[in-house]
Amino acid sequence: MPAVSRFERENIRRMDGYTWGEQPSDGRTIKLNTNENPWPPSPAVARALAAFDVARLRRYPPPHADGFRRIAAELAGVTMDSIIATNGGDEFLRLLLTTFLEPGTPLATTRPSYSLYPVLAAIQGSPTLEVPLGEGFELPADFASRANAAGAGITCVVNPHAPSGCLYDTSALEHLADELDGLLLIDEAYVDFVDPRLGHDTSRLVRDHDNVLILRSMSKGYALAGLRFGYGIGSPALIEPLITKTRDSYNVDLIAQELATAAIGDRAWATDNWQRVRAERERLRAALTDLGFECPPSQANFLFARVPDGAEAPELQARLRSAGVLVRHFRGVGLDDRLRITVGTPAEDDVLLAALAASLGTP
């Protein structure tokens, strides 16, 4: 039994916390379970860390992380006051709820979706409306009307969607923003891996709409999950209260600011890394299909593969674990027979594929 204090708020006592993907510390396990980047961050990050003078830690960091915000704003084609730097994308989510969701007012999202949203809503004392996606993970036509009918203050859409990897068109999101009474958060934690030939770009939505916010993360596309750095994009009127009122006074530390700035400034590394992930994603998808998986196209750094007929996803997951490979399995309608597999290096993926072939008895 976990320890319980009589001082805990009632809604906190009643809620469940977030369940992390497994994070083994042995250094040998092949981790294809939490969508981390398989390659190390840009060498510019290593250089910035090596050159860092620890004496500077005596002082507080730049309060607004302007060095980082300047580059992020330029890349998104917005002004700097449309950007907030946060301690991971997760902190941006927490700030949005604290600032814009009246306690008790629902948060809306899709089912499935990022499992942190209901946790943050519960902390706020708010219920979560989960609107089921279609069979191909498409957005339901009545999504906005259902969110409005529930009185949702914030509606969250992951795009590319997790766990499916499906990409929603900017025009579909624009339509949603037009229809929603509340705010629309487009969670772009995985957007860096979208094929650039698709010309996908949602940044104009924050310029044209006063109810759209975008989450970005340095964890996946820049291989910096351990650093905890993300940012949010929105109209200056939406970003201002987050910066001046609801965030911690120095929410991103000095080392994180410097390393994240080095990473986002190295465009050559970023485009090369994303291309490598995409190429490996397509190779892995083809190989999984050959093994009998049904593997829909993904624009993220993971695949959501339905296991071959006759196989059980939890059992395959357990066998992979015995072979030293972690992948993710989710329970729920439309999820039980699938595994979410992060794109690894070609060598890591070859171990995965060999272990799957052995488990399935495929020559």
> What residues make contact with ligand PLP under the rule CB under 6 A?
35, 88-90, 114, 158, 162, 187, 189, 215, 217, 219, 225, 230
Q: Do strands 230-234 and 212-217 pair parallel, antiparallel, or not at all (unpaired)? A: antiparallel
The residue with its CB nearest to ligand PLP is 88
In this structure, what token pair is assigned to residue 91?
């902190």
Pairwise CA distance, residues 288 & 306, whole Å:
10
Q: How far is the CB of 105 from ligand PLP (least distance, A)?
A: 21
Q: Are 203 and 231 in contact (CB under 8 A)?
A: no
**Which CA distances in Å does 316 have to 234, 295, 349, 358?**
42, 16, 15, 10
Which residue lies nearer to ligand PLP by CB, 138 or 350? 138
Q: How far is the CB of 235 from ligand PLP (least distance, A)?
A: 21
Q: How far is the CB of 162 from ligand PLP (least distance, A)?
A: 5
| Residue tagged 């990473």 (tokens) | 263
* Residue with smaller CB distance to ligand PLP, 202 or 359: 202
In whole angstroms, the minimum distance from the beta carbon of 220 to ligand PLP comes to 7
Measured CA to CA, the distance from residue 60 to residue 126 in angstroms comes to 35
Question: Nearest approach, Cβ of 216 to ligand PLP (angstroms)?
Answer: 8
- Rounded distance between C-alpha atoms, residue 101 and residue 154, angstroms: 7
Of 124 and 217, the one with the shorter C-beta distance to ligand PLP is: 217
Nearer to ligand PLP, 206 or 311 (CB): 206
Shortest spacing between CB 6 and ligand PLP, in angstroms: 32
Residue 229 Cβ vs ligand PLP, minimum distance, rounded to whole Å: 7
- Report how far residue 209's alpha carbon sits from residue 245's, in angstroms, rounded to the nearest whole number: 22
Strand partners, 338: 306
Distances (CA, A) of 209 to 110, 185, 257: 21, 12, 29
Distance separating alpha carbons of residues 280 and 124, to the nearest angstrom = 40
Joined tokens for residue 135: 């069979």
Cβ closer to ligand PLP: 90 or 349?
90
Specify the residue, 187 or 266, whose C-beta has the smaller distance to ligand PLP. Answer: 187
SS3 for 258-320 is HHHHHHHHCHHHHHHHHHHHHHHHHHHHHHHHHCCCECCCCCCCEEEEECCCCCCHHHHHHHH
Q: Which is nearer to ligand PLP, 108 or 189 (CB)?
A: 189
- Closest CB to ligand PLP among 278 and 328? 328
Q: How far apart are CB 157 and ligand PLP at their closest, in Å?
A: 10
